[in-house]
Homo-oligomer: A and B are copies of this chain.
Amino acid sequence: MSALPQPRTVRTVSSIRELVGSCRSAHQTVALVPTMGNLHAGHLSLAQIAAEIADKVVLSIFVNPTQFGPDEDFAAYPRTFDEDWARVRDAGTVDAVFVPDVAEIYPFGADQAVRLTLPPLAQELCGATRPGHFDGVATVVCRLLNIVAPDLLVLGQKDYQQFILMQRMVADLRLPVSVISGPIQREADGLAMSSRNRYLTTAERQIAPALHAMLQYVRSALRSGASDYSQLQAEGARALAEAGFRPDYVEVRRLADLAKPTADDRPDELVILAAGWLGHARLIDNLLV
């Protein structure tokens, strides 16, 4: 039996500030990995990246009410703290798990919260289907940054639009933190790891890798010089539908800012993003070209 160091569980703003303050006094850098829990290998890979760059790693677990729409799965979102904590302990890369309750993050209530509104990109792609979602993410991430005051914010590339928007928020609000991203972690058959994969039936789980396969097909075409993005997007959506998905979008965008590309853009400046429903689950994925 190896005796791994136990991550501290911290529940209040004052306690996490005290902890980070003592790191500061010791001239240690701090990275924050924000999550909504239900941790999988994707989250742990971000903690691993954080631990390689910063001296101390704080992983937060907070199911944020302001980023769920009225018809979304806030109440049903899986809350699995004991399992999460055990995974974090076994990984050995996290120094503190910050698990605030709603009143710590929204002292005046989530309904009365000071809200952030992001630029128009937040209404496109996933934002078109989930109005207000990214504004809600910004609303909580801004608070987490103010509370933890990390040197580094580590986000996953599966939520690529979220990563770009948080990078934008940090730059625009002049928050003193660096934002980095970690690559998507996938199952053996290519399915991107996600907390929402647990909503899939066995039959749906077998269909799910078609999302990644479609992205690979579009990437090959782009690498081979295809530049009729509209046609590729339509083909991609058709492939998703044929596999059994209800497609939401398939889009080729610029990597740097998710602007729409022109036919002159180089393939290695592009990313393909897609989303679709499989039964009750809405899956998203993307691939850098």
Contact = CB atoms under 8 A, between A and B. Distances in A.
Interface in A105-135: 105-108, 112-120
Nearest to A142: B173
A117 B115 CA distance: 5
A226 interface: no
Interface stretch (A56-64, A74-82, A143-151): A143-151
A149 B174 CA distance: 11
A176 interface: yes
A117 to B, nearest CB: 4
B108 A114 contact: no
Interface stretch (A164-172, A197-205, A208-216, A265-273): A164-172
Nearest to A144: B174
A105 B173 CA distance: 8
A98 to B, nearest CB: 12
Interface string A1-23: 00000000000010001000000
A172 B119 CA distance: 22
Interface in A214-273: none
A275 to B, nearest CB: 24
A286 to B, nearest CB: 23
Contact of A112 (B106, B113, B119, B147): B119
Contact of A143 (B115, B119, B149, B173): B173
A118 B17 CA distance: 25
A145 B194 CA distance: 36
A146 B116 CA distance: 15
Contact of A138 (B105, B114, B118): B114
Interface in A145-189: 146-147, 149, 168-169, 171-176
B168 A108 contact: yes
A179 to B, nearest CB: 14
A172 B108 CA distance: 7
28 contacts: A105-B174, A106-B172, A107-B171, A107-B172, A108-B119, A108-B172, A112-B119, A112-B172, A113-B119, A113-B172, A114-B116, A114-B117, A114-B118, A114-B119, A114-B138, A114-B168, A115-B116, A116-B117, A117-B117, A142-B173, A143-B173, A143-B174, A146-B173, A146-B174, A146-B175, A146-B176, A147-B174, A149-B176
Interface of A: 13, 17, 105-108, 112-120, 138, 142-143, 146-147, 149, 168-169, 171-176
Closest 3 A/B residue pairs (Cβ) = A115-B117, A146-B174, A114-B172
Given A116-B117, A146-B173, 12 more contacts: A17-B176, A107-B171, A107-B172, A108-B168, A112-B172, A114-B116, A114-B138, A115-B116, A117-B117, A143-B173, A143-B174, A146-B175
